[in-house]
Structure 1
């Protein structure tokens, strides 16, 4: 059992190295959604977000993963299957001579090997013949479709938000029709080919690319904009967050969730290790990412027990990506992860400038202009670099606190 745990831990490390999103202990739900999508894209095996969270210890689970899950993880990091991963990663092939009762048996191995080769040859030949017959009988049909319709309309301007999809796939030879909420294949739902409407619920504000899928082919897609209706706070529980509107969180220009609120809701932040978020996603506040500036002042006001690092993230949401600016107390900067249009892991990059003292307000400025990005913390330059690829239009922000915090003087504008 201990050996298996070590092997799974090694596989997790390989995956974290491959995706470059920083330590898995700091991943949020959207990171596991993205990982699920990447694993599906590369292996065609769909692992649920909850399965991945169990593997990374985000959800308590005493059992062990099934072999199908382990095979998919091994394939994602470049191995044929889990057995190949564990043997190559942990047990180097032996160069010694096999023995029976301490006596070398090269001749015996040669005799047995020849018989095995013959048996394998027969099995391979039969397998090839069977595969050829199966291929002839089950060659995939060519997908044909016409008169495709795919549109949608949210029913409100906040969350949760039901979106009504209108579609037409009748004039196709597809066996199955799906509507997918976003890039995440785990958000794909089968619909009736002969109907024209389907409703789907979105739980967080943001910018999504919905897709109409016939069999396994995306034939149409469009953007779905889920607004926050001003400032919105969420307690980031799974699977449905707890919402708090602007009228209850904005006092004298400061956004915050009071201690009384958590007492009333019987929420123990330290015990549950919860994050709280402040969203602002509004259609009339979208700015281009080629030249913009974001300013904000904030405090992380918790910092107890397991949340002592006071980790905080400012996420600028783009329609093709995101900028993630991390903060923490100075002693935890090695665990931070900065995302511009490239990744910067605190384990391999000096992010010490993002270590702060939250006993006073911390000011952060992010400025993009002339394909350059600069980030200032307390009026000191913390990061500067190229900004070549961009994140598309900046559609809003999400300010996240491990525990809880305060926000004031936020602005996002075109320059």
Structure 2
């Protein structure tokens, strides 16, 4: 029987094999940031960088991982939950046959059924034949449906937010009906075929594609946009985040999360450094993720303990993907990973030294995508230029990541026709 440590080691090995990034002991902070994003995209649960580092032994932590953490890791490698992951495979025993001298054959008279049992046998064969005919006729039942409806609406503005799904799947021969929150089939929930309403709670803002599924077929889908009420700050816990509304984080013409904000939530930054985010998810018109200019000024404001690299990230959320631009102190640029419309650029195999900065002053970043190419300037100097092949859709918001605390001084986006000032 495997111990819990053995199970966790096996789960880590499966994740490393799935990602193909090499041994987890060699991962840097940027790898854990990327893993956190992958897990959130596939499971809908946000595991913080600090939590993932504890799982891989990068940060000392005496307590065992929470049930939410273990269930999420198990789901990421294809299991329903941690219990099913821990379930041992049934043992297969083989017995070496005992060899002995051959014995002379023994003639055995045929074993005939008594005449009284023949009716029972004939009856069983008849029932088995009927079952076989029924199974053959019903082995493939094409899905048929008539008037089907599917819509949704958030009940409020801001986060957390409950989304009410309205559906009508009664005019169909479907055996089962599901509502899927996004592209991820693991976020699929069975609903009553004869029902009409289903409620689901969303804890992070974003752009989702909700689907109505009958049996295994997607029959209707629509966009679902969970927005913020102005700027929103979060401490990114594994399950439910801590929220800081716009009026609390907007100060002196900047948006910031401070050490006082975190200590007010009982966080001792000498013991742990959480991942925090500043979100602005609002309609920005029809600005395409393939043709825009984004400019911002930001600052990481915490650099002690495990935040010595001051890993910072800017994610431009799009309706069908995202762009991700990281920053850090100069000595940690080898840990960074860029991502544009699904194409990643690793600091381990590319020169990303231009994304190393001094956070003692405001950092200016400019990102322009045009004619399938991206150019990123950091403090007026070209840090990266390369191709953008995918189509991420229109830009729907922006999210900043910081280790511990951080601040934003300005943020604006334009496409040559319209210009929107976020801050």
In the superposition, the TM-score normalised over structure 2's length comes to: 0.73
- Residue correspondence of structure 1 range 249-328 to structure 2 within 5 A: 249-269=249-269, 271-285=271-285, 287-328=287-328
CA 1:137–1:271 in 2, change beyond 3 Å: closer, same or farther? Answer: farther
2:405 maps to 1:404: yes
Taking only aligned residues, the RMSD between alpha carbons, in angstroms, comes to: 3.5
2:150 maps to 1:147: no
Per-residue deviation, residues 139-184 of structure 1 (Å, max 9, x unmatched):
2422222211011111222111111111111111222211111112
Whole-angstrom distance in 2 between the partners of 1:135 and 1:54: 48
Instruction: Tell me if structure 2 keeps the 8 A contact 1:364–1:376.
Output: yes
| Corresponding position of 2:379 | 378
The structure carrying a bigger helix percent of its residues is 1
After the TM superposition, which of the residue ranges 282-291 and 402-411 deviates more from structure 2?
282-291
Match of 2:32 among 22, 25, 41: 25
CA 1:271–1:171 in 2, change beyond 3 Å: closer, same or farther? Answer: farther
CA 1:333–1:181 in 2, change beyond 3 Å: closer, same or farther? Answer: same
CA 1:72–1:137 in 2, change beyond 3 Å: closer, same or farther? Answer: farther
Whole-angstrom distance in 2 between the partners of 1:290 and 1:62: 40
CA 1:284–1:148 in 2, change beyond 3 Å: closer, same or farther? Answer: same
| Corresponding position of 2:331 | 331
CA 1:272–1:221 in 2, change beyond 3 Å: closer, same or farther? Answer: farther
2:12 maps to 1:14: no
- Residue correspondence of structure 1 range 237-256 to structure 2 within 5 A: 237-256=237-256
Whole-angstrom distance in 2 between the partners of 1:301 and 1:272: 15
The offset of 1:25, in angstroms, is: 2.4
Structure 1: state its 5+ residue gaps. 38-47, 75-82, 84-107, 109-132
Per-residue deviation, residues 6-63 of structure 1 (Å, max 9, x unmatched):
76655433322279x99652236441133459xxxxxxxxxx888xx88982794499
2:163 maps to 1:163: yes
CA 1:55–1:308 in 2, change beyond 3 Å: closer, same or farther? Answer: closer
Corresponding residue pairs, total:
346
The offset of 1:404, in angstroms, is: 1.2
CA 1:5–1:230 in 2, change beyond 3 Å: closer, same or farther? Answer: closer
CA 1:28–1:274 in 2, change beyond 3 Å: closer, same or farther? Answer: farther
Whole-angstrom distance in 1 between the partners of 2:309 and 2:267: 20
Per-residue deviation, residues 257-297 of structure 1 (Å, max 9, x unmatched):
23222222111245343111111111245522232111111
CA 1:49–1:139 in 2, change beyond 3 Å: closer, same or farther? Answer: farther
The offset of 1:191, in angstroms, is: 1.2
CA 1:72–1:311 in 2, change beyond 3 Å: closer, same or farther? Answer: closer
Whole-angstrom distance in 2 between the partners of 1:311 and 1:347: 15
Instruction: Tell me if structure 2 keeps the 8 A contact 1:16–1:24.
Output: no
**Rg larger in 1 or in 2?**
2
CA 1:192–1:62 in 2, change beyond 3 Å: closer, same or farther? Answer: closer
Whole-angstrom distance in 1 between the partners of 2:183 and 2:209: 6
| Corresponding position of 2:368 | 367
- Residue correspondence of structure 1 range 106-121 to structure 2 within 5 A: none
